[in-house]
Amino acid sequence: MKVRLKIWRQENAKAKGAFVTYDFEEVSPEMSFLEMLDALNQKLIKKSDSPIAFDSDCREGICGSCGLYINGRPNGPEKGISTCQLSMRAFKDGDTIYVEPWRAKPFPVIKDLIVDRSAFDKILHAGGFISVNTGSAPDGNSILVPKEYSDLAFDSSVCIGCGACVAACKNASAMLFVAAKVSHLALLPQGRPEARERVKNMVMEMDRLGFGNCTNTGACEAECPKEINLTNIARLNREYFTAKVL
């Protein structure tokens, strides 16, 4: 099959970017979307053009490196997957496909489709951990955790830090990302001692880094490749309120 690609090209952080059109005919439906870009890049290099820069690593939807805005949606048309899990089966012969980097002020473009997501790391530096030194942990079974809470914590902890939630949000809010980490740790007894400080510090850092506010549109939940739900944001708000007021 063949597709017309309109891909965002931008030489570096300071350069002005633009869409460049590529007609690509050697596409097969078994390819993943990124393998299609790999194949296009091979062609570009051979023609002495600059290949398209994009991040990816594990190629199985777990490392969170990849993440492209495809036809106006993070990770393209299918739900619950990262970009590397998107197959060309999702497109038809003759389709035009727009490919852009994540767009958000706290995620500046580095080159082409690569953005700087270090703001996420910074939010976690502010409190995304339990302060326990190596060697001082009690026996694993001395902390009993109701299965229900443990499972809920797991559901929140599967966030891959890809940034699709921010990219999907018209306010570039990082609430779902922060909520997932706050929820994961707040739901576990091990995380309770620092829960108040943690939520205050992480929210403060999120605001300082320029992420927008949450207006409950739910775009983040709709586009999260791990389908982390809005309940997490409700929990984050409750944790934050309790920490600030009580």
Partner 1 sequence: MAILDAKIPEGSLAEKWTQYKNSVKLVNPANKKKLDIIVVGTGAAGSSAASALGELGYNVKVFCYQDSPRRAHAIASQGGINATKNYQNDGDSVYRLFYDMIKGGDFRAREANVYRAAEVSSQVIDHYTALGVPFARDYGGSLTNRSFGGVQVSRTFYAKGQTGQQCMLGSYSSLNRQISEGTVTMFSRREMLDLVLVDGKARGIITRNLITGELERHSAHAVVLASGGYGTIYYLSTLAIQSNGTAAWKAHLKGALFANPSFAQIHPTSIPQLNEYQSKLTLMSESLRNDGRIWVPKEKNDKRHPNDIPEEDRDYYLERRYPAYGNLVPRDVGSRAAKERCDAGYGVGPTGLAVYMDFRDAIKKQGDKTIEANYGNLFQLYDTITGINPYKEPMQIYPSAHYTMGGLWVDYNLMTNIPGLYAIGEANFADHGANRLGAASLMQCSGDGYFILPFTISDYMADQIKTPRIPVNLKEFDEAEENVRKRLEKLISINGTQTPTFFHKKLGKIMWDYCGMVRNEEGLKKAAELVKELKHEFWTDLKVPDNLNELNQEIEKAGRVSDFFDLAGLLITDALNRKESCGAHFREESQTPDGEAQRNDDEYLYVAAWEFKGEKIPHQLHKEKLKFEEVEVQVRSYK
- Cα–Cα dist 151/172, whole Å: 29
Choose, by CB under 8 A, the member of 25, 138, 245, 246 that binds partner 1. Answer: 138
Helix ranges, 59-109 (H): none
Phi-psi region of 241 (alpha: psi -120 to 50; beta: other; left: phi over 0): alpha
- Cα–Cα dist 191/215, whole Å: 28
Choose, by CB under 8 A, the member of 1, 6, 38, 222 that binds partner 1. Answer: 38
Residue 36 touching partner 1 (CB under 8 A) = yes
Least distance (Å) from partner 1 to the CB of residue 156?
A: 9
User: CB-wise, 183 or 214, nearer to partner 1?
Assistant: 183
* Both tokens assigned to 91: 């497109």
Residues written for the chain: 246
Least distance (Å) from partner 1 to the CB of residue 33?
A: 11
Least distance (Å) from partner 1 to the CB of residue 147?
A: 5
**Among residue numbers 205 through 224, which ones bind partner 1 (CB under 8 A)?**
none
User: CB-wise, 129 or 241, nearer to partner 1?
Assistant: 129
Choose, by CB under 8 A, the member of 19, 93, 105, 154 that binds partner 1. Answer: 154
Instruction: Please name the residues in contact with 118: beta carbons below 8 A apart, sequence gap of 6 or more.
Output: none
**Among residue numbers 67 through 86, which ones bind partner 1 (CB under 8 A)?**
80-81, 85
Instruction: Please name the residues in contact with 148: beta carbons below 8 A apart, sequence gap of 6 or more.
Output: none
* Both tokens assigned to 50: 């600059």
User: CB-wise, 132 or 213, nearer to partner 1?
Assistant: 132
Q: Which helix (H) or strand (E) holds 73?
A: strand 73-74
Choose, by CB under 8 A, the member of 150, 213, 215, 242 that binds partner 1. Answer: 150
Least distance (Å) from partner 1 to the CB of residue 93?
A: 17
Residue 158 touching partner 1 (CB under 8 A) = yes
Choose, by CB under 8 A, the member of 18, 28, 213, 244 that binds partner 1. Answer: 28
Residue 21 touching partner 1 (CB under 8 A) = no
Q: Are 121 and 202 in contact (CB under 8 A)?
A: no
Least distance (Å) from partner 1 to the CB of residue 172?
A: 18
Strands 3-9 and 96-100: parallel
Q: Are 114 and 53 in contact (CB under 8 A)?
A: yes
